[in-house]
Amino acid sequence: MSLELPLLLERSKVASPPYIGDFRVDPSVLSQFPSGTKVISAHHFGQSAWTVTARLLLSLPNGTKERFFIKSAPGSHGRTMMEGEFNAMSELYNSAPDFVPKPHSWGKYNAAEPEAYYFLAEYIEMHEGMPDPDKLCSRLARLHRESKSPTGQFGFHVTTCQGRIPQLVEWESSWTTFFIKLLQNVISQDFEVNGHWNDMETVGKQFIDRVIPRLLDALVEGGRVVKPSLIHGDLWEGNSGTSLDNGNIYVFDAACFYAHHEMDVADWRCNYNKISDPIYTDTYNLYNKRSEPRKEWEDRNRLYSVYYNVIYSVNHTTSGTAVRQQAYSDMYYLIDKYAPFEQNEGPPRIEKDQMAVLPSEKNHNLAAASDVDSDSE
C-alpha cells in the first residue's frame, strides 16, 4: 500500500475546481447523497500515515449545508480499512451516539487508478489537546457497561484494523481463546515485519500456553462471567478530541471488537502514549469496577498491554525494536510470576541498560509517517 498511497494523494489534488479548495471529490462520494447535492468546498485536512484525509462542505437539495470528514486508502487493503472503520464507528454510534461523530457511508471511488476506497463521517470541529479525564472515562465506562454483543460472543462481524494492521476478530465464545488468537496473529505479523526473534518465540509460547489461560480463565471461575463489551481498540489521545461547540469528548479512528472491558484501557499503559498518565486509568476505574479477581487487575492490565505493544511494533517499524522489547519484558515478568521456566531453560532477560530507547515524540502519526517513507524507498 505504501507505493499506492503517494499516488492516491497526488490524484486527490485538484487545481481550480468548480468549488473552493484543493481536494478532488470523486463522483462516487456525491452518489451517497440526494441528487442535486453540490460541493461548496473541499480541502485536504488532518494528518494520517495510512490514508488521505479531507474536509467537505456540501449543499443539500433542501438548502441545508453540512460538513463531512472523508478519508481514503488505496487497494484491497484500503477496502479492509475503510469497511472496518465504517462498521466500527457505526457500532460505536449505535451504542453511544454522543461519543463519536456520526458515520455516513463508505464506498469505492469511481477513479480506476489507483483503486481506492473511502469512509465518510460527520465533521466536528475539535480541540486536539489531552481529553478531560472525567469526561472521557465516564463515557467510555458507560459504553463498556451498556453495549451488547449481537452474538453474545467476543469478536466483530467484519475485520477491523488498528492503524494499517488487520486484527483477527472472528467470533469466539471463550475470552481466553479469543485473546490468544488475537495475540498470536500480531506476533506472527511482527516476525514478518521486524524479523524473527527466537527468544521472543520461546517467551511468547510460554506466555500463550501457560500465563494467558492462568490469568484469563480466573475471570470465569466460580460461575463468574466476562461480558463482551464493545471497545474502541485504539484509544490513545490522538484518537479523541473535544468539541469546540459543546465541550463534549468524541473518539474516532476506531478498531472495535467485543472484548473484556479492561482491555480498552490497557493501551493507556504503553509509555509512548501521553494518555499513560495514571489519572486516566484511575478515573476510569472509578466509573467501571475492576473484574474479579481484583488483586490480579494489574497483571491483566500488563497482559493486555502486550497486544498493544506488539501491534504498535508492526505499525511503526522504526520503533519496532524498542516496543517489542517492552512486550518481551512484560511477558517475561508475568511468566516469572505465574509459570516460570525450569532452571536454566528460559532465554535471557533484557536488562534496562540493554533496552532500545523510544523517540521522545509521542505522536503515532509522525512515527508512522516515517515508517511509510522508509517502506516506499
Taken in order of first residue, the domains within the chain and their CATH numbers are 4-123 (3.30.200.20), 127-369 (3.90.1200.10)
CA–CA gap between residue 92 and residue 99 (Å, rounded): 8
Residue 356 has a pLDDT of: 77
For residue 72, what is the DSSP state? E
Question: What is the per-residue pLDDT across 260-277, written as a single tens digit (0 to 9) for each?
Answer: 999 999 999 998 899 999
Question: What is the per-residue pLDDT across 166-182, written as a single tens digit (0 to 9) for each?
Answer: 999 999 999 999 999 99
Task: Kindly list the distances between the CA atom of residue 12 and the CA atoms of 166, 219, 346, in Å, as whole numbers in the listed order.
Answer: 25, 49, 53
Confidence class of residue 355 from pLDDT cuts 50, 70 and 90?
confident
Asked if pLDDT for residue 377 goes beyond 80, the answer is no
Asked if pLDDT for residue 362 goes beyond 60, the answer is no
**Which has more confidence, 48 or 313?**
313
Q: Are 92 and 209 in contact (CB under 8 A)?
A: no
For residue 93, what is the DSSP state? H
Please state the pTM of the whole predicted model: 0.94
CA–CA gap between residue 309 and residue 271 (Å, rounded): 10
Asked if pLDDT for residue 372 goes beyond 60, the answer is no
Average pLDDT of the residues in 211-224: 98
Q: Peptide bond before 103: cis, by omega within 30 degrees of 0?
A: no
Confidence class of residue 49 from pLDDT cuts 50, 70 and 90?
confident
Return the minimum-mean-pLDDT range out of 76-80, 189-193, 226-230, 372-376. Answer: 372-376
Q: What is the CA radius of gyration of the chain?
A: 21
Confidence class of residue 375 from pLDDT cuts 50, 70 and 90?
very low
Q: What percent of the chain has pLDDT over 90?
A: 85
CA–CA gap between residue 8 and residue 48 (Å, rounded): 13
Asked if pLDDT for residue 374 goes beyond 50, the answer is no
Residue 83 has a pLDDT of: 98
Question: What is the per-residue pLDDT across 102-130, written as a single tens digit (0 to 9) for each?
Answer: 999 999 999 888 999 999 999 999 998 89
Mean pLDDT of the chain: 93
Asked if pLDDT for residue 191 goes beyond 60, the answer is yes
Asked if pLDDT for residue 373 goes beyond 60, the answer is no
Residue with cell 465518510: 120
User: If you write DSSP's letter for every residue of 149-187 in order, what string do you get?
Assistant: -SSSSBB-SS--EETTEEP----BS-HHHHHHHHHHHHH
Asked if pLDDT for residue 48 goes beyond 90, the answer is no
CA–CA gap between residue 334 and residue 331 (Å, rounded): 5
